[in-house]
Amino acid sequence: MAGKIDAEVVIGGKVYTLSGYESEEYLQKVASYLNAKLSELESDEGYKRLPADLQSVLMQINLADDYFKLQKQVSLLKEQSRAKEKDLYDIKHELVSAQIKLEKSEKSLKQALEDNNENARKLIRLETELQSLKGGSKTE
């Protein structure tokens, strides 16, 4: 397991040291996300007039809102994935059934061709016998 990482980041214009087991790049990404959220909220004049504690709570509410929306999106994507896996399973099942039918049809066709060839040989043999019978009765 990788060791703990310390990274200096800037959040809201202040420098903080974040520690964690993630990469420094990841910790910078977290700080960047927080700065984007702060910028979004600070663009609202009403937010700027709130006391610092209410600004903090509003920021936390916005982060929780993002979290729950993403959680719902992940849940929907998982549901779609399960539905697609089921569809894929059904299609594979249909394919196997079609392959079995095809194999049976090919076997039946092969047997029919063999029977046809056998019948053709019988027909030739019978025609030959008939010809020889006709030919033998003319000489008598």
Q: What is the pLDDT of residues 51-75, one digit of tens each?
A: 999 999 999 999 999 999 999 999 9
Residue 69 falls inside a structural domain:
no
CA–CA gap between residue 92 and residue 101 (Å, rounded): 14
Residue 3 falls inside a structural domain:
yes
Over residues 98-104, mean pLDDT: 98
Specify the pTM: 0.64
**Which range marks the domain in which residue 24 is found?**
1-48
Closest CA to 76 of 68, 88, 87, 66: 68
Share of the chain above pLDDT 70, in %: 96
* pLDDT reading at 89 higher than 80: yes
Residue 41 falls inside a structural domain:
yes
Number of domain units in the chain: 1
Q: Are 38 and 56 in contact (CB under 8 A)?
A: no
Residue 20 falls inside a structural domain:
yes
Residue 88 falls inside a structural domain:
no
**What is the model's pLDDT at position 1?**
60
Residue 4 falls inside a structural domain:
yes
* pLDDT reading at 127 higher than 80: yes
Residue 44 falls inside a structural domain:
yes
Residue 135 falls inside a structural domain:
no
Q: Are 34 and 53 in contact (CB under 8 A)?
A: no
In Å, what is the CA distance from 46 to each residue of 39, 53, 54?
13, 14, 11
